[in-house]
Amino acid sequence: MNLPRPRVPFARRLLAAALAAPLLLTACGDTGSGSAATSAADTANKTPAAAAVAPASAAPTIESPTRPAPELTLTLRGVADDVVEQGEPLRIAVRLAAPRDAADAFELAPATGSWVDAISVEIAPANGGAVLARAEAIGTADNPHATLDTTRVAGGLWRVAAATMQQLVPGDYDVRARLAITGGTGWTGDVVSDATPLQVAAVSESAERVAQRAINLAQDALLDGRDEEAAALLDAVLKNTPDDVRVLTVRGVIAERAGNPMAAMICVNRALHARSGTGTGLPPLDLDELQNRVMAALLTDPVDTPHEDPPAWTWPPAAVLVPPAQETPAAEDKSSAGAQSAAAPAPSIALAAPTETPAVIAPTSSAPVAADALPAVASAPAGSSSAIVVPGAELNEADILADSAGQWAATAKAGSEYGAPNYSAAKMTGAPNVPVAGDSVEAWCHNSSAQGLEWIELTYATPVHATEVRVRQTNAPGAIVKVEAIAADGTLHVWWEGIDPYTAPAQRDLAWFAVRVPATPYLVAKLKITLNLAAVPGWKEIDAVQLVGTAP
C-alpha cells in the first residue's frame, strides 16, 4: 500500500532523473553550491556550445566571480566511485539555482534559443587540455526562459553517447558544466561548475562491472524509448545473477513503464529478498519508491476493466521467477516488512497473474520458532464423507475470480492476528489483492505467540446452498486441517477434516485450497476454517476465501 512520502532532494532521485526525458523547470526550496563565474564582458566573444559532440577546444578557464551569478552544479548518474568503462554511455544531471543569499531573482532569458541551449557539459583531461567531448541535452525546455530564486531551480539531464565515450582512452578526466548567456533581457555572464572527476576504465568482465554496464546501457535505451531493448540488456544479466538488486530495480521500472505492475512487483519482491540477509537496513530509496508505486497501481486497478495481456518481454527471465536455491524453512520476523508497507485497508480487487504463478520471495529475518508438530488429525471427514479436496489442477485462478457463483467474505475474524490493520483478519475480506506469493501485510497472519491450532471465521453477504469453499493461501500453504460451514440457524456442519495433500515446492508459495461438497440443503452464510500451525514451517497467510453456491 502506498503512503505519502516527503519530497526527496534532487541529488538523491536517481531513477527519476535517469528516466526523465524532458528537461523541466523544477520548483524546490533546496539550493546547491560549487560554481565559479566570470563577468559578461569576459564572455562577449563567446557563444553557447552546441548540445552535441564537438571538435576539440580549450577547456574552460575559471575566474573569480565579479558579480552575483547563478550556482551551477552537476551530478554523474549511474556512476559508482566516479568510474565508467570505455564505450559506456554517461548521464549527467545539471542543476541551476540562485545563491542562498541572493537578494533578487535571476532571469535566464537568452536573446536566442532557450536557457538549455546556453548550457554545455564538457569532458576534458584532468591534467588540462582541450575539451574532448560534449554531452547532448535530453529533451527540450518547457519554457525558453527560467527564473531562479529561493523557491525555484532549473535543471535536466544530459548524456554522452556510447560511441563518443568509446573515443575516450582510459584515464582521468574532469566533467564541467558551463552556462554562457551574452545577450537577452535577463542575467548575462558565464558560469562554470566545479570539476567532477571521472575515470574512464578499460572494459572489464567482473560481475560488478557487467551489471553496471548493462544498467547504463539500459538507461540510455530508455531515454530513446527503446524499452524492449533495455529489458533484454538486463535480462541477459539476470539469467546469471538473478539477485542483483540494482538490476532488479531498473528491470522493475521497465515493467512498470510497460504497464505490467505484476512483473514489476516480482522484481521488487526478489530484490527485497536478496537484501534481507545482508543486514543493511532499509531498502534503497529507488527500490522503496518503486515498491510504493507498483503497490498503488495494483491496488487501484479496477476489477471490471478489461486488460490486454502485457507483452511477453515485460516479464523478467525465468531465473527471477523461481525461489532462490538457498531458501530454508525458517520462520521470519514480520516487523520490518510491516513497517515498509501502508497501514490502511486495501480495496478488494482481482489481479491478473502469469500462467504459472511464480513463488516470489518477500523479505525475511529471524523470528520465534514454529510450534511443535501436533499429532496428525484424522484424514477421514467427520460428518461429510462425500466432501472432496479439489485437485490443484482444477484450481485455475482466472476461472475462480470470474466465477459468478462465488462470493468473497464480507467480514472476517480469527483466533489471533499478527497486527492491525496490517496482517489483520479484515485482510481476508473481498477479492484477492496480494499480487504474488510471499509475505504481505495485505494478507491475514496469525500472532507470533500462536501455537497449535488456529481458526478463522468468515461471513458472507448472501446465504447460499453451498457447493465449494476456496481458500487463497499466499504464504506457507498446506496447514488447513478442517473446514466447517455454519448454517443460517447457527448449526455447525463439518465438511472436511484431514491433512492437506498439497506439498509446497518452497516455504513461500501461493496455493488455492478447495473443498467441494454436494449442494447443501441448508443455507450457508458463514465458514470456519482450522489450521495446524505446526503442519508446515513459516507464517501462514491467507488473502481471501471464496464461498460458492446458489442463492435460494
Between 385 and 208, name the one with better pLDDT. Answer: 208
Q: Percent of the chain having pLDDT more than 90?
A: 49
The residue written with cell numbers 529489458 in the block is: 231
Mapping DSSP to helix (H, G, I), strand (E, B) and coil, where does residue 100 land?
A: coil
In contact, 92 and 64? CB cutoff 8 Å: no
Q: Percent of the chain having pLDDT more than 70?
A: 72
Residue 278, pLDDT score: 58
Give the length of the chain.
552
- Give the mean pLDDT of 278-293: 75
In contact, 269 and 248? CB cutoff 8 Å: no
CATH class of 388-550: mainly beta
Residue 285, pLDDT score: 78
- Give the mean pLDDT of 281-290: 78
Between 4 and 545, name the one with better pLDDT. Answer: 545
How big, in percent rounded to 5, are the helix, strand and coil portions of the chain?
A: 20, 30, 50
Q: Which range has highest mean pLDDT (45-49, 235-239, 293-297)?
A: 235-239
Torsion of CA 432, 436, 441, 442, to 10 degrees: -10
Rounded distance, CA 132 to CA 136, Å? 14
Q: Where in the chain is the domain with CATH 1.25.40.10?
A: 207-321
| Mean residue pLDDT across the chain | 77
- Cross-strand bridge partners of residue 406: 548
CA angle 536/538/544 to nearest 5° reads 90
Q: Where in the chain is the domain with CATH 2.60.120.260?
A: 388-550
Rounded distance, CA 231 to CA 218, Å? 7
Residue 63, pLDDT score: 44
CA separation, residue 422 to residues 131, 297, 494 (Å): 57, 19, 30
DSSP state of 17: H
Does the domain made of 207-321 have the CATH classification 1.25.40.10? Answer: yes
Q: Where in the chain is the domain with CATH 2.60.40.3880?
A: 10-201
Mapping DSSP to helix (H, G, I), strand (E, B) and coil, where does residue 543 land?
A: strand
Whether residue 281 is predicted with pLDDT greater than 80 in this model: the reply is no
pLDDT tens for residues 313-339?
A: 999 998 888 766 544 334 445 654 443
pTM, two decimals, is 0.50
pLDDT band at 139 (very low <50, low <70, confident <90, very high): confident
pLDDT band at 502 (very low <50, low <70, confident <90, very high): confident
Residue 44, pLDDT score: 30
| CATH hierarchy code of domain 10-201 | 2.60.40.3880
pLDDT tens for residues 432-488?
A: 988 888 888 899 999 876 678 999 999 999 999 999 999 999 988 889 999 999 998
pLDDT tens for residues 210-227?
A: 999 999 999 999 999 999
Whether residue 304 is predicted with pLDDT greater than 90 in this model: the reply is no
- Cross-strand bridge partners of residue 171: 200
Residue 333, pLDDT score: 55
Q: Which three cell numbers stand for residue 148?
A: 531562479
pLDDT tens for residues 241-276?
A: 999 999 999 999 999 999 999 899 889 988 888 886
